[in-house]
Structure 1
Amino acid sequence: MLKNFIQNLPKAELHLHIEGTFEPELMFEIAKRNNIQIPFASVEEIKAAYEFDCLQDFLDIYYQGANVLIHEQDFYDLTYSYLQKCAAQNVRHTEIMFDPQTHTDRGVSFETVISGISKATKDAEKNLQVSSLLIMSYLRHLSEEEAFKTLEASLPFKHLITAVGLDSSEKGNPPSKFKNVFKASVKEGYIPLAHAGEEGNADYVWEALDILGIQRIDHGNNSLQDPKLIQEIIKRDIALTVCPLSNTALQVVDDLKNHPLKKMLDMGLKVTINSDDPAYFGGQINTNFEAITSALDLSKDMLYQLAKNSFQYSLLPSKRKEIYIKELDTYNKNN
């Protein structure tokens, strides 16, 4: 297996929920610090609870864990802990999704959330040489009206946010539900992205493309249901941010050996590998690379292409992309 090659492979992570990086040890520590009772007596109990049958099972405990995040320092610690793991895995750039509504609904201010996260990203760029940008996600199980409130709250901090996303329970909450808030978000300068085709079918992906005008598809597995959709995604040159271990943890795919990633690559789709919610789904980005490489017998050339896609389809300016791709090319050539 190509474990050493993967470990040192320069790469970007484009599909990562900061709340989903909440390791049990840190959750326990912050809960104690904030004097918040959680329904677990130990770190081991938290880990045992990280077993899911579907997306909703995961979301239930995900929101429960987020409840211990109260102060700016909590969000800083959460984010910096993740960025340290990026540095250790040679993730050179990451695009971090955060869910303001998960916190503002609990009475935590938007400013507290964004300040803690953004300060950590600045410190990590300086201390760890990991660059990052932020994606503000709307929770699709809530109303569009609630999403508009979040958009409004974000405007004083617009300089800290690059894009908007759409996450949480997909079934029954199609992209079209958020048509107006996405239009308003783009008007404010945010780049539109969305989860589509994880549990929802190919129609959800069409809606995300045609109604929301997204520039990247988060997940997108069910795009394969529709050959016309595949051709359209290729024609528009839109990447898919695929999350292998997340897909098996949430039963989107029954076994990694049946994961469509290799098929996607063979079809000409621009695929990237990501960890989604690594604390909950059994592994950081390198573990995802290793697991899918083993399951599908991916070649070194495929791994190089996946890493190149991650830089090419990031939201970075072209010059920064070129710098990272040059670094990747040098590494690939010498290894």
Structure 2
Amino acid sequence: MKTWLRDLPKVELHLHIEGSLEPELMFTLAERNGVSLPYATVDEARAAYDFKDLQSFLDLYYQGMGVLHTEQDFFDLAMDYFSRAAAEGVVHVELSFDPQAHMSRGVALSVPFAGLERAMREAENRWDMTSALIMSFLRDRSADEAMAVLEQAAPYHAQIAAVGLDSAELGNPPSKFAAVFERAKALGLPRVAHAGEEGPATYILEALDVLDVCRIDHGVACLQDEALVARLRDVQMPLTVCPLSNVRLKVVETMTAHPLPAMLDKGLKVTINSDDPAYFGGGVLDNFIACADAFDWDRETFKALAANAIDVAFMPEPRRAELQQRLASG
């Protein structure tokens, strides 16, 4: 089954590129840029990847991304991820990145755009791996700041597949960013948002009704509200679920306790993703394997999950048809 899952053409919709920073590369970039790390060794850094909740992860996450300074750093970060993803059967990936986390450190907005775009072109040339870029806003910072970033990113709007909303969910409801997402809609930019990870089902409703999103990132809290479940099912709203992340951040205690089977039973349009693979136990393939081990799903279930991701990805229609055909014939 593991070999078959590796060969299955997989699409990654929920990937924070900063969260793909492996400790080995972190140390390399820290040395390159003269950044002091609080760890003496790679093993010591990995030992710190034991989180009690989302906030404890975010504290380490932002500390780690402090090694990213130059266009080359972002290129190397993305290529490191792309090389692993290609070996795991990923054929398309949508990279979220957090410009505010870099701009607040004095890194110009142009730097991540240039490095990530160059890596995306290289990955397509090298591995036939297509990709899309999602510019995410940090919900624990002000809506005014997010609006300013959206406007400052005007030269790059054509390069953005969507805008997103991520970071600390509790106490930062989607409605806080209503004006920002209304502006993004007016600019013709698709919108996605994290909702219902640590936050309640009402945050999912706000993401739908206030932010007018086309995808919900995470969304596992939807099961708290049967009417919401019915609505999500009826419109086939995509949910980018990240099972290993949910376990590592204590959203659920164990994989076997994860609500994924119940979500599938209720007819929800679920996709499987990695979130922050360097911190949460691996990439998309590892998440597929963890689901196979926990739920004993058959091949048709995994093909349906892979098809869901292809159906809703930000990609040209010819590429979508190509991947759907590849999946169907596999």
Q: 2:73 matched to 1:68?
A: no
Deviation at 1:284, TM superposition (A): 1.1
Residue 229 of structure 1: aligned partner: 228
Structure 1 residue 321 corresponds to structure 2 residue 326: no
- Does residue 43 of the first structure (1) align with residue 42 of the second (2)? yes
Equivalent residue, structure 1, for 2:170: 171
Alignment of 1:233-244 (within 5 A): 233-244=232-243
2 CA distance for matches of 1:129 and 1:318?
A: 16
Superposed, 1:1-335 pairs within 5 Å as: 2-331=1-330
- Alignment partners' CA distance in 2, 1:320 and 1:76: 24
CA contact (8 A) 1:272 1:309 kept: yes
Report the residue type matching 2:41 in the other structure.
S
Q: Distance in 1 between matches of 2:88 and 2:152?
A: 34
Give me the whole-angstrom Cα distance separating, in 2, the residues matched to 1:177 and 1:236.
Answer: 25
* Equivalent position SS for 1:67: helix
Quote the offset at 1:317 in angstroms. 3.0
Q: State how far apart, in whole Å, the 2-side matches of 1:323 and 1:186 are.
A: 29
* CA drift at 1:157: 1.1
- CA–CA distance in structure 2, aligned partners of residues 42 and 252 of structure 1: 29
Task: Point out where structure 2 has 5 or more consecutive residues left out of the alignment.
Answer: none
Distance across 1 between alignment mates of 2:315 and 2:267: 23
Distance 1:187 1:122 in 2: 28
Asked if 2 retains the 8 angstrom alpha-carbon contact of 1:240 and 1:270, the reply is yes
Structure 2 residue matching 1:189: 3-state secondary structure: coil
1:109 maps to a residue whose letter is: A
CA deviation map 1:150-203 (0-9, x unaligned): 101211111211100000000000000000000101111210100000001110
Q: 1-side partners of 2:308 and 2:77: how far apart? A: 27
Identity between Structure 1 and Structure 2 (%): 49
Structure 2 distance, partners of 1:201, 1:127, is 42
Q: Distance in 1 between matches of 2:299 and 2:57?
A: 33
Alpha-carbon deviation of 1:262? 1.2
Deviation at 1:281, TM superposition (A): 0.5
Q: Give the partner amino acid of 2:286.
A: T
Q: Which amino acid aligns with 2:229?
A: I
Equivalent-residue separation in structure 1 for 2:304 and 2:124 (angstroms): 25
Q: Distance in 2 between matches of 1:123 and 1:320?
A: 17
Alpha-carbon deviations, 1:56-91, whole Å to 9, x = none?
Answer: 000000000011100110000001111111211111
Q: Which secondary structure does the structure 1 equivalent of 2:289 belong to?
A: helix
Shift of 1:37: 0.5
Q: How far did 1:319 drift? A: 2.7
**Offset of 1:128 from its aligned partner?**
1.4
AA partner of residue 194 (structure 1): A
SS for the counterpart of 1:147 is helix
2:67 aligned counterpart, secondary structure? coil
Q: Distance in 2 between matches of 1:224 and 1:318?
A: 32
SS in 2 for 1:136: strand
Code of the residue aligned with 1:200 in structure 2: it is: G
Question: 2:160 is matched by which residue type in structure 1?
Answer: I
Distance 1:207 1:36 in 2: 40
Secondary structure, in 3 states, of the residue corresponding to 2:239? strand
The alpha-carbon deviation at position 133 of structure 1 amounts to 0.4
- Structure 1: unaligned runs, 5 residues or longer: none
Q: Tell me the amino acid that sits aligned with residue 43 of structure 1.
A: V
Instruction: Tell me the TM-score normalized by structure 1.
Output: 0.97
Distance 2:154 2:291 in 1: 39
Alpha-carbon shift at residue 230 of structure 1 (Å): 0.7
Q: 2: distance between equivalents of 1:160 and 1:83? A: 19
Q: Which amino acid aligns with 1:312?
A: D
Secondary structure of the residue that 2:325 maps to in structure 1? helix
1:86–1:130 contact (8 Å) kept in structure 2: no
- What SS does the corresponding residue of 1:36 show, helix, strand or coil? coil
Q: Deviations over 1:253-302 (max 9, x none)?
A: 11100111111111110101000000000111101100111111111110
Q: CA deviation at 1:104?
A: 0.3
CA distance in 2, matches of 1:20, 1:263: 28
Q: What TM-score, normalized to structure 2?
A: 0.99
